[in-house]
Amino acid sequence: MTDPLLVRLDGSQRQAVTAAELPLAILAGAGSGKTRVLTHRIAWQSREDHIDPAHVLALTFTRKAAGELVTRLGRLGVRDRVTAGTFHAIALAQLRARQRDRGRPMPTLLDRKVRLLAPMLREAGGPSGAEGAVAAMEVAGEIEWAKARLVGPDSYPVVVTAAGREPPLPLSEMTELYRVYEETKRKRRLLDFDDLIIWCGNTLATDGEFRDAQRWRFRHIFVDEFQDVSPAQLQLVKAWLGDRPDLCVVGDPDQAIYGFAGAEAGHLTGFSGLFPGATVVRLDANYRSAPQIVNAARAVLEDGTRQPLPAVRVPQPEGQLPTITTYETDDEEARGVARAVRAAHDSGTPWTRLAVLYRTNAQSVGFEAAFAAANVPCRVRGAGRFLERAEVKAALEALRASVKAAPGTAFKHQLADLAEDVLELAEGRREHVEALIRLGHEYVNAEGSSGSLDGFAAYLNAALRGEDGPQTGDSVELLTFHRAKGLEFETVWVTGLEQGLVPISFADTPAQRAEERRLLYVACSRAERTLHLSWAQERTIGVRVARRRPSPWVAVIHQAISDDPGANRAPVDPREELAKARSRLQSGSRADPALVAALIDWRGNLARAHDITPLLLFDDTTLGHLARSRPATLTALADVPGLSRLTIERYGDAILDLMGRHPARTL
């Protein structure tokens, strides 16, 4: 009898789901079905009575990932709710419960280090205003780097010197500021987010009663994105685990892009050393992207390495070759991408399946302006934070009023009352309040009690740290390479591929350059069917116009595209595309040259009508298939690679008419 939990898994996925050996590390590359494997493993192991889902702790790096995991488990028939959440949210919930049980107040959570650091910098004679805010953010980042590595003020000078790291302030000043920051927090009874991880780990190590209670509750530990775990987070995982082997981690060292924030990919690549006797399973397929995209993205990873990458199966059908476009200026790049995005949408792709990626947040401004001018709806990741929405604020205020009116009512019942009120909201506002209620239940489950409003507020700050609200409406995503991680789109534009941006100008060590290479790989591997890359010869930086050179990885990707079987597409200037396309399609083609010329002319006329580059409307490969296969019916057109359903609906008759005017002849 076919097992419904295994039937849709390939061999390596099935091995990862059913493996009995622990600890277990699952190396899951881009598009390999990481979340599917993780959820199916929990569901299968639960059904086989190898684990108890009520005693599962699943750690993620975003609340969205935690929510998706729980939702999928429910669909797979896991009735007992697992505890899933971010490191910070789970640590906070456990610490709050411990303080409550001991009748002690919980220190106040400091949501932003800058609140303390900016005044300290001013008092020390540092800059003020916008310059001071930037300086405070740089210092905050340095403190986070140190605390992620369990480095306190006393050992900071030795560690930072050994690491060859250049701090944002002179070493002595940075060390003193770090010390004063920690002392100020203690005096004011404040905790930052890094403290949650360190305090929880230390408490598990020193408080036997607390440790035993947590280890009894959480007997099976799963960690997602293990390549992003910091030394402090690893210490916490080990504290939860104890001497038990029941640990399963999932991750991809090729997507390790948070070294600057303290992540250590070596925890995944060296898993067997950290956990002797561990088993490692590698998922060997990419189900997301077309082969041409996989080849281009992997070429970036292979650049500068001595060892070839492990082979990857790509079950997806052949797709279009990635394109590389050179623009004269960054403004032209923004306008050109906006036109291409609109053309893709007009050909039948929903806005939400299209994304534009860039290295730094500052690059979004030009695209926002160009998209507004082209009447293309877009959403900038990082804007419109969830807790800042009016309906979410109103719902939280309603909860406060409800608690004040009935202080003895359990918080979970207050959530139930709010859920009834949601039905009166308009649909556009309802989904955000429903998301807030789901977060409320996640909080109650994580803390293991009836909960409280203060506890929920603190949990929200920890769980939603650095995250956006849920996607609403049909709009194109504009986001940085970093924020694109974990997402996927049908068509992706990877922009600004210039030296100084890719790799970023301050990536001057081999490790930093390697991380920049992986970051570009992450960006390219977000694309499923179509990938467009671009760079500008001039870019405005502040008030200065600077001449630019292409990223060194543009040539690497170009070579990968050129080496693709049956293709040889070089980076081209948009104004030269039409003439070069005519030459490529006619040279060595088995098709009638007159038909090829007619197809190119027809495509050019159509592109001019839409005010876009011809190759962005219809790919050369698609026209080559048309010229060689000479479809005579709409059904035959549907078999031509690269022709969407809407394209056939809109232009199918015109294509067939053109074919009829150029009947087949012996060449």
pLDDT > 70 fraction of the chain, expressed in percent and rounded? 86
Burial degree of 432 (CB within 10 A; 0-12, 13-18, 19+): buried
In tens, the pLDDT along 635-646 reads 888 777 666 565
Q: How confident is the model at residue 589 (pLDDT cuts 50, 70, 90)?
A: very low
Query: Is the CB of residue 641 less than 8 Å from the CB of residue 622?
Result: yes
Exposure string for 512-529, b = 16+ CB within 10 A, e = fewer? eebbbbbbbbbbbbbbbb
The pLDDT score that the predictor gives to residue 393 is 78
Residue 651 binned pLDDT confidence (cut-offs 50, 70, 90): confident
For 318-346, the DSSP string reads P-PPPEEEEEEEHHHHHHHHHHHHHHHHH
Task: Flag whether pLDDT at 587 surpasses 50.
Answer: no
For residues 369-388, b (16+ Cβ closer than 10 Å) or e, as one string?
ebbeebebebbbbeeeebee
Q: Which of 1-10, 380-389, 611-620 has the lowest mean pLDDT?
A: 611-620
Which has the closest alpha carbon to 493: 481, 502, 475, 505? 481
- Residue 382: is its pLDDT beyond 90? no
* C-alpha–C-alpha distance, residues 595 and 503, integer Å: 44
In angstroms, the CA 80 to CA 55 distance is 9
* Span 411-467, pLDDT tens digits: 878 887 777 666 666 555 566 677 778 778 778 878 777 788 888 888 887 776 655
Provide the sign of the torsion angle of the four alpha carbons 13, 14, 20, 21, taken in this order.
negative
Query: Higher-confidence residue: 569 or 377?
Result: 377
DSSP annotation string for 484-530? HTT--EEEEEE---BTBBTTBTT--SHHHHHHHHHHHHHHHTTEEEE
SS3 479: strand
Give strand ranges (E) for 88-174.
Answer: 108-109
- Exposed, middle or buried, 656 (CB in 10 Å: 0-12/13-18/19+)? middle
pLDDT at 144 over 90: yes
Distance of CA 116 to the CA centre of its chain: 30
Could you tell me if 30 and 256 are in contact, meaning their C-beta atoms sit under 8 angstroms apart? Answer: no
Identify the residue with better confidence: 413 or 359: 359
Counting beta carbons within 10 angstroms of the beta carbon of residue 206, is it exposed (0 to 12), middle (13 to 18) or buried (19 or more)? exposed
Strand ranges (E), 364-508: 378-380, 476-480, 489-494
549 in Cβ contact with 492 (< 8 Å) = no
- Do 241 and 247 meet the contact criterion of CB atoms below 8 Å apart? yes
Nearest to 69 by CA among 56, 51, 88, 55: 56
CA distance 118 to 382: 22
Structure tokens that stand for 302 in this block: 């292979």
The predicted-structure confidence for 19-63, as pLDDT tens digits, reads as follows 999 999 999 999 999 999 999 999 999 999 999 999 999 999 988
**Residue 284 has what pLDDT?**
93
Cα distance between residue 614 and residue 234, in whole Å = 52
- Encode pLDDT of 522-553 as tens digits: 999 999 999 999 999 999 875 578 899 999 99
Instruction: Examine the pLDDT at 516 and tell me if it is beyond 80.
Output: yes
- Of 31, 33, 67, the C-alpha closest to 440 is 67
Residue 75 has pLDDT above 80, yes or no: yes
Identify the pLDDT of residue 443. Answer: 82
Strand partners, 504: 500, 501
Residue 216's closest CA among 42, 94, 70? 94
Are β-strands 220-223 and 378-380 bridged in parallel, bridged antiparallel, or unpaired?
Answer: unpaired
Tell me whether residue 238 is exposed, middle or buried, using C-beta atoms within 10 angstroms of its C-beta: 0 to 12, 13 to 18, 19 or more. Answer: middle
The most confident of the ranges 125-139, 165-179, 632-646 is 165-179
Three-state secondary structure string covering 196-257: HHHHHHHHHHHCHHHHHHHHHHCCEEEECCHHHCCHHHHHHHHHHHCCCCCEEEEECHHHCC
How many Å apart are CA 53 and CA 164, to the nearest integer? 45
pTM value is 0.75
Q: What angle do CA 308, 311, 314 make, to 5 degrees?
A: 135
- How high does pLDDT run on average in the chain? 86
d(C-alpha 597, C-alpha 580), whole Å: 12
Exposure of 168 in the CB half-sphere (CA atoms within 13 A)? 18
How many CB atoms sit inside 10 A of residue 57's CB?
Answer: 21
**Torsion angles phi and psi, residue 531, rounded to 5:** -130, 125
Cβ atoms of residues 434 and 422 within 8 Å: yes
Short-list 523, 453, 531, 513, CA closest to 485: 523
Number of CB atoms found within 10 A of residue 162's CB: 8
CA atoms within 13 A on the CB side of 160: 25
User: Among the listed ranges 253-262, 354-363, 440-449, which one has the minimum average pLDDT value?
Assistant: 440-449
pLDDT confidence bin for 364, thresholds 50/70/90:
confident
